[in-house]
């Protein structure tokens, strides 16, 4: 019930605009690295010092105005330059709807191509985050066209989709992030129970660890992480073939511990003023994250 409420709130246009205007509130500063590039580079430096690399997301999604999409593209280009200039260990994650997928496919492709070309000069990876079901196929289409010219791109496989096995087989030669899936999807396309999603998640992770190029296992679920640790040991899979990923601000002790144990670890670092939808989805996933809000209200 709470999950549905927060997912519903995450796409509310009026609240999104208000959140942009009033800055990081409601405890969002615990899970968003900053509102500008300088603060974000500082957060990346701190994580790098702990042996953790970063994937940086300039927050924003479901953009319907060209001007806003171009502004988002320019911000991402600025982050690429800042990562390079500061010599920090980081790459980029982006959402196709942020740079125009809901406006015009070709317009989005041109924006994306400019970003991938800029990053490829520095041998920097670009990850295409995956959004809700309606955007999945167009996002794979963007990826496939890009791959004709560039090799510094990868994407995400969402385990709750029935189509995930087919998608992973098609893209096994890429660096892939495998996740459970964050949006509310109908039974027509997606598994609905935790058991089914977890079982498919494990199957996809194992498939890509055995057959794929490089696997990013993105989860806060210690059951899955422990399973992966046993699986790679059992199958002699070397540590340079995979990494664990978690979101900024979540299970910090476990992030540091895994890095200390010598596993590649990458933290997803979101930043910017368009934090509202991202924050609401985190509350939907784990209502205990409401603690962040409560703490913020009482620590004024
Ligand atoms: P959950 O199913 O939320 O939790 C399972 C169990 O893990 C819980 O019952 C609890 O025991 C434990 N647990 C979880 N969180 C905590 C915590 N904070 N503290 C203590 N215990 C905890 N989704 C997309 O659809 N597209 C994307 O592109 C995408 N990219 C992502 C990138 C990263 C780096 C990560 C981490 C997630 C991404 N997601 C994405 C979100 C993902 O799909 C899930 O919605 C999200 O990660 C929640 O599922 P989970 O696997 O973390 O575990």
239 noted as active-site residue: no
E-state strands within 27-148: 53-58, 90-94, 126-128
Alpha-carbon separation of residue 12 from 8, 94, 95, 167 (angstroms): 7, 21, 18, 30
Task: Answer yes or no: is the C-beta of 102 below 6 A from any ligand 1 atom.
Answer: no
pLDDT for 15 beyond 70 = no
Average pLDDT (164-177) is 97
> Would you identify the CATH topology of the domain 33-274?
TIM Barrel (3.20.20)
Q: Give the end-to-end CA distance of the chain in Å, rounded to a whole number.
A: 29
Is residue 27 helix, strand or coil?
Answer: coil
pLDDT band at 61 (very low <50, low <70, confident <90, very high): confident
181 CA distance to ligand 1 middle (Å): 8
pLDDT band at 33 (very low <50, low <70, confident <90, very high): confident
**What ligand 1 atom has the least distance to the C-alpha of 198?**
2
pLDDT for 203 beyond 80 = yes
Pairing of strands 214-218, 53-58: unpaired
Pocket test of ligand 1: the residue of 59, 192, 205, 218 to mutate, having most ligand atoms within 8 Å of its CB, is 218
pLDDT of residue 27: 57
pLDDT of residue 279: 73
**What ligand 1 atom has the least distance to the C-alpha of 182?**
45
Element (H, E) at 158: strand 153-158
Task: Answer yes or no: is the C-beta of 285 below 6 A from any ligand 1 atom.
Answer: yes
pLDDT band at 297 (very low <50, low <70, confident <90, very high): very low
pTM confidence score: 0.90
Q: Tokens representing 12?
A: 């509310």
148 CA distance to ligand 1 middle (Å): 32
pLDDT of residue 8: 65
pLDDT band at 299 (very low <50, low <70, confident <90, very high): very low
Summarised one tens digit per residue, pLDDT across range 104-151 is 999 999 999 999 999 999 999 999 999 999 999 999 999 999 999 999
- Residue with the bigger pLDDT between 197 and 60: it is 197
d(CA 142, CA 202): 27
pLDDT of residue 221: 96
pLDDT band at 285 (very low <50, low <70, confident <90, very high): low
198 noted as active-site residue: no
246 CA distance to ligand 1 middle (Å): 8
pLDDT band at 286 (very low <50, low <70, confident <90, very high): low
d(CA 297, CA 300): 6
- Residue with the bigger pLDDT between 282 and 248: it is 248
Summarised one tens digit per residue, pLDDT across range 208-263 is 999 999 999 999 999 999 999 999 999 999 999 999 999 998 999 999 999 999 99
Q: 127 - beta bridge partners?
A: 93, 154
Percent of the chain's residues with pLDDT above 70: 85
pLDDT of residue 300: 36
Summarised one tens digit per residue, pLDDT across range 82-91 is 999 999 999 9
Nearest alpha-carbon partner for 112 in 123, 98, 122:
98
Pocket test of ligand 1: the residue of 171, 197, 219 to mutate, having most ligand atoms within 8 Å of its CB, is 219
Average pLDDT (6-29) is 62
pLDDT of residue 65: 92
77-81: list long-range contacts, CB under 8 Å, 24+ apart: 77/114, 77/115, 77/118, 78/37, 79/37, 79/40, 80/115, 80/118, 80/119, 80/122, 80/124, 81/118
Domain ranges of the chain: 33-274
pLDDT of residue 60: 81
Contact 200, 164 (CB under 8 A): yes
pLDDT band at 280 (very low <50, low <70, confident <90, very high): confident
> Vertex 225, ends 1 and 210: CA angle to 5°?
115
d(CA 286, CA 251): 13
| Mean pLDDT for the chain overall | 89
Q: Which of the residues 177, 198, 274, 282 is marked catalytic?
A: 177
pLDDT of residue 102: 95
DSSP symbol at 272 = S
């Amino acid at each position: 019930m709470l999950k549905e409420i927060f997912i519903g709130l995450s796409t509310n246009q009026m609240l999104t605009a208000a959140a942009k205007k009033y800055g990081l509130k409601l405890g969002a500063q615990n899970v968003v690295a900053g509102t500008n590039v300088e603060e974000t580079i500082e957060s990346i430096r701190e994580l790098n010092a702990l042996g953790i690399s970063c994937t940086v997301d300039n927050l924003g999604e479901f953009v319907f105005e060209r001007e806003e999409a171009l502004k988002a593209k320019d911000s991402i280009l600025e982050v690429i330059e800042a990562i390079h200039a500061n010599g920090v260990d980081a790459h980029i994650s982006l959402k196709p709807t942020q740079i125009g997928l809901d406006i015009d496919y070709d317009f989005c492709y041109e924006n994306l191509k400019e970003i991938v070309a800029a990053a490829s000069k520095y041998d920097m990876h670009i990850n295409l985050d995956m959004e809700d079901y309606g955007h999945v196929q167009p996002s794979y289409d963007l990826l496939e066209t890009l791959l004709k010219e560039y090799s510094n791109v990868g994407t995400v496989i969402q385990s709750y989709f029935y189509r995930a096995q087919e998608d992973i087989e098609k893209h096994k030669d890429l660096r892939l992030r495998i996740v459970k899936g964050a949006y509310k999807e109908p039974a027509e396309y997606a598994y609905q129970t935790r058991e089914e999603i977890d079982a498919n998640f494990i199957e996809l992770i194992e498939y890509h660890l055995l057959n794929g190029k490089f696997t990013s296992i993105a989860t806060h679920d210690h059951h899955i992480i422990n399973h992966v640790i046993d699986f790679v040991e059992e199958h002699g899979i070397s540590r340079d073939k995979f990494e664990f990923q978690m979101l900024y601000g979540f299970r910090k002790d476990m992030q540091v511990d895994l890095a200390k144990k010598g596993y590649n670890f990458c933290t997803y670092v979101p930043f910017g003023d368009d934090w509202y939808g991202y924050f609401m989805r985190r509350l939907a996933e784990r209502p205990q994250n409401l603690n962040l809000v409560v703490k913020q209200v009482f620590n004024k």
